[in-house]
Chains A and B, each alone.
Chain A
Amino acid sequence: MILGLVEHESGVPEETSLEALTMARELAAGEETELGAVVFGEEGGALEGELGPYGVEEIYHVTHDRLDGYAPAAWGESITQLVSELGVSTVAAPGTDRGHEVLAHAGAALDAPMATDCIAVDVVDEGETYELRRHRWGGSLVEHARLEGETKLVTAAEHEYPIEEAASTTEPTVSEFTPSLDDAHLRVRVERVETADEEGIPLGEARVVVGGGRGVGGPEDYDKLEELADLLGGTVGASRAAINEGWRPHDDQIGLTGAQISPDIYIACGISGAVQHMVGCKGADTILAINTDSEAAIVQKADYAVIGDLHEVVPELTEAIRETT
């Protein structure tokens, strides 16, 4: 059996989990075996209707009287026990914080190899071996690799695997599964959730992002970018160089170790276009660069460019938009 980890919000599966499930179904087809899903949480037992279209035949709903919230080692241990009891050859999880964390725990318990952020996985030798491609450096490099072992663990890179329904809808059966857990598995658990007071549009969701890099020159001049962003109903982001200068908080950082954005347009001002920055804005439909240097890498990577001083262009642009609207 191939097992997919499905995260859900009140019984509605996350998109990233459906991506992983699509990958898992392809593996199950390649190995001519069944596709199962493992789910946690109270509403997890009511996912038959949601997972049937994806070809899931069995749903394992993990319940335990000491497991009332997220606990990474306990989730990993539950998967470990399912793997041994059901003879699972591969577990596929979404490439999310939890997907990576839970699978790493299972990987440690099973002493099994784990390939993260996969974008394609092919079954060879009847499932003895997988040949796969995965992201490195946030996707600026692709690694071709071989994964072998009695149990294999894979995660699907977020928003890379197209979600596809199965050719025919299944009617999955739901089995309750109670793992045996001890104190050690429950040492780490979510004690509580603190909600943030939302201010402004989160970078990841903004339709317009105005980014400022080292070329902005200081914290005050971000006011000009803020004005433009406000006018366009967008949000301001920054490069790591600007954050290291202390001009903006880290929450504003776009890139490999910051936020991933997917706006309609990203206006990058005074940003040179380092790979670690650009992997954060792969999802942007259009990129407009404003830079004094026509040789800057971002001028090649953007769709449109204006060669000039942002301190001059941005305020004039804001003014012109005010006049038109």
Chain B
Amino acid sequence: MNVLACIKRVPNTGAKIVLTDDNQRIDTSNLGFTMSPHEECAVEEAIQQVESHGGQTHVLTLGPEEATEQLRTALAMRVDEATLLETDGEEWGPRATASAIATAIRDLPDEDTEFDLLLFGNESADMANYQVGVRVAAELDLPCVTGIKSLEVEDGVATAKREISGGEEVYEIDLPAVVAVKEGINEPRYASMRAKMQARRQEVANLEPDRAVAPGTFEKIRLEAPEADDSDAEVLGEGADAVPEIVELLESEVEVL
């Protein structure tokens, strides 16, 4: 079984998000980068499925050259192969992204390594469009389910579960299929130091994606960081000395006692 995971490089924002002067993007001069936790779980799921069923794992991202860093994180987790669809760093919308990924997926595999399972995050951390996976599935005419927190594969059928209030919906889907997962589906492994070193030397395929501009557009004008309430909290006290004040707060103000 061959499994592909699609990931996206995003800034690892901290306690306060600062924008660039033109309000077009997050000021990343003091930030590291990462992938979304949902996508980290997609990578882990790809590895676990191949561990139990055999086959190859592949990780793919569309982004600037620097996104190779996130591909190497996946390689260090022991994904077999990685592909970068290199852009000039401009933000791509979900339709153009999906179309480029679908084209790459059609072109990537050799005849004997078609993908059986294409894993996505439920939503990207920075944009949360909730649609790249579904659009890729439609282009490739594959069945697709999103919001998945449990996945088992047997005899070419995936049993996938989605949390709803009070329980879980169960889906049974013939592979090949597209599945978008949520954090909690598994516990992503930590890469060993040795694996990280090896991943640095591993080859990353670099392809140039086509940016298809479809009619009808969604276009960012600018970003805005909403005014946070930065007035300091009222300090009730230090250490255990503050306990009477906390009790008072719970009793009279919040009224939970």
Contacts and interface: CB of A to CB of B under 8 A. Distances in A.
Interface of A: 70, 72-73, 97, 100-101, 104-105, 107-109, 111-117, 131, 133, 135-152, 155, 184, 187-196, 198, 207-208, 232-234, 240, 246, 250-251, 253, 256-258, 264-265, 272-276, 285-289, 294, 297, 299-309, 312-313, 316-317, 320-321, 324-325
A-B pairs with lowest CB-CB distance, top 6:
A149-B216, A297-B15, A108-B138, A308-B239, A250-B184, A104-B134
Given A188-B144, A265-B256, A316 B170 contact: no
B168 to A, nearest CB: 5
A257 B39 CA distance: 11
> Which secondary structure characterizes the binding site on chain B?
mixed
A144 B23 CA distance: 10
7 contacts: A101-B146, A141-B26, A141-B224, A148-B216, A232-B257, A305-B236, A312-B239
Given A101-B130, A108-B98, A147-B219, 7 more contacts: A140-B226, A188-B143, A188-B173, A193-B170, A294-B235, A304-B233, A308-B242
Interface of B: 13-17, 19, 26, 36-38, 93-95, 98, 123, 125-131, 134-135, 137-139, 141, 143-147, 161-162, 164, 166-174, 177, 182-184, 187, 214-226, 228-240, 242-247, 249-251, 253-257
A147 B256 contact: no
B221 A144 contact: yes
A154 to B, nearest CB: 10
B256 A194 contact: no
Given A101-B134, A112-B216, A289-B233, A141 B17 contact: yes
Given A116-B130, A309-B239, A313-B240, A194 B170 contact: yes
Given A148-B216, A286-B253, A188 B37 contact: no
A232 B164 contact: no
